[in-house]
Structure formats: C-alpha cells, structure tokens
Structure 1
C-alpha cells in the first residue's frame, strides 16, 4: 500500500526540492543569481525583487546574509518563515487577532 502524504507534507517536500533544484549543480547553497531566479519563478507575487538589485540586497540582509555568501536552505527558510507570518496576518479576520504561530513566537 502506497504511503499517502498530507498536503502539508507535500508542500514541505516542494520547498526542499525546489530549493535544491534551483542550483545548477544541485549544491547545498545557491548563488545569488540562482536564488534570484528561484524567487522570480517560484515566489513572484510574494517577493518582488526580480531585476531589482537593491531590493534583493535588502532582502538578503534581512535574511542575515553577508554580501558574497551563498544562500543556504536555512537562509531560505527564514524567508519562508517571514512570508508565512505575513500571510498569517493577511488571513486573520481582524487585525488584532493573531494566528497561534504568531502568538507562540
């Protein structure tokens, strides 16, 4: 009997797979260009840095990265966490109501 994954499990697998697929060499880190290409392709509506070097530099600084570093999955996960928190706030019915994850942090 085949294992049935939940939508959340599948989503996590997609995050990991897409990160590693963005590397031309399937390395553990992405170059800045590979990272920017991935953002343009996979998160065009949530991350608006396509073609904007200043925006990309600010985003990477917010992710705790120094100039010239490769982008690790941990760096990428910080971005995902930030986007998820933003999405959580957008989906709450009232601005004063925070989702459980936001409250626990």
Structure 2
C-alpha cells in the first residue's frame, strides 16, 4: 500500500506543478488529471460540466483550486464506489 500512496502523491504533485504550484490543482490541472488518470472511475470524465460539478464538490473554500486533502477525499470516494462499499 505504501507504493500506492506514493503514486497518488507523486501524480497529484506532477499535475499540480504544471502551473508552477505543486500544492493545489487548478481547474485545468484537475481536468487533465481526471481525464488522463481516472477516466474509468469518474463518470463522464470528458464532460466539462460533470468535471465542474465534481470540482465544486471538492472546493470547500471556493478558491477555485483543489488541495491534496480534497484530492484524497475524491480517491476515497472513488475507491469506495469501485469496491461496492
């Protein structure tokens, strides 16, 4: 499991650093991450409206960016749905 956590952290940072900050995902970075890394886990991953809705659900402070905690929560939700829990 340590390898899985390391992969999640490194992929988040790789996408987050596209615009210079490796601490948060902008809208564009989030869209790239979802469409490239999670297309089979996120329903309608290619639909901008679906991505906007997903982003809004993770953006608790309305700053238009997603931090790692929000990303981690998304991974937990997707894993839970995938596992049938």
RMSD value over aligned CA atoms? 1.7
TM-score normalised by length of structure 1: 0.69
Higher normalized helix content (fraction of residues) = 2
Q: Which has the higher contact order (CA 8 A, sep 6+)?
A: 2
Per-residue CA distance 1:52-80 (angstroms, 9 max, x = gap): 22101211233244655211001101110
Structure 1 portions without partners, runs of 5+: 1-7, 90-97, 99-105
Structure 2 portions without partners, runs of 5+: none
TM-score normalised by length of structure 2: 0.83
Return structure 1 stretches of 4+ with deviation > 2 angstroms: 61-68
Query: Number of residues paired by the alignment?
Result: 82
For the pair shown, the structure with the greater C-alpha radius of gyration is 1
